[in-house]
Amino acid sequence: MPKYTPSSTEAVLQLSDVLVLVFDTSTNKYTIKWYNSATGAWDDVVQYDGANKQFTLIPTMVQTPEIEENTPGIRLKGTETNGQDLTIRENTGKIEVYDNVAASVIGQLPYNLVLPIPLLTDAISGSGTVAAAERLYIDTGMLKNVAEAYWEISYDASALTSDGSADLIDVTDGETIDSITLTYGTSSERTRSSTNLLTATYPLKEGIEVKVQVTGDGANAATLRMARLILVIK
């Protein structure tokens, strides 16, 4: 590992094998330096002027600094009031902000945006099959950047003596995209299907209308209280 040799007015904190933070007491400046293996010199990356409270990016670097290791990162340990002990790191292709005290990830890039879309405005109920009046049109571009799609429901099947079902129907093509079993004698405030609708046998796709329906046991009614489409945008 290359070693930075400080002057008599400098204090050094080693950040990684190739990065150091240097504080010059004579100028009150903090400088992050990177070891340029091509030249064998320590190049300035960024500098903070404590006297003038000004940051300066140094545009003289000819290479990008690299930290090559398993889950590489830089630890930032704040000593100010309410300062935190955090690590900015790469982990399996994502950039994470890791809280070293709580031992948990508190931020991540790229992030996932979860978008819920209602499929039902009023509850529907029936011992046979009852379809909702609402239709949702999957317009062109609606599924752009959507990596996964699911649907979830709230239901009451407490009166059933055999299982019923809730179904997501492709009205345009007349196919069932996915079904959720309503186990007799049960109810649920939220049940999500494990099927990614984008890869189902009859997938959710642009240019179709979808609706939901509920089916009881033939003699007793099942109630579908809520249904919504869940789009995961990455």
Which sequence spans correspond to the domains of the chain? 1-68, 70-109, 113-233
97 versus 186: which is more confidently predicted? Answer: 186
d(CA 43, CA 76): 21
* Per-residue pLDDT at 15 exceeds 90: no
Q: What is the mean pLDDT of residues 152-178?
A: 97
Look at the block and give the residue holding tokens 């499929």: 119
pLDDT digits (tens, 9 = 90+) for 132-152: 999 999 999 999 889 999 999
Q: Where are the beta strands (DSSP E) in 25-162?
A: 29-36, 41-49, 54-57, 73-77, 85-91, 94-99, 104-109, 113-118, 124-126, 129-131, 136-137, 146-156
Contact indicator for 209, 136 with CB cutoff of 8 Å: yes
DSSP 112: P
Count CB neighbours of 52 within 10 A: 10
* Per-residue pLDDT at 62 exceeds 50: no
CA-derived radius of gyration, the chain = 29
Give, in words, the CATH class of 113-233.
Answer: mainly beta
pLDDT range class, residue 58, cuts 50, 70, 90 = low
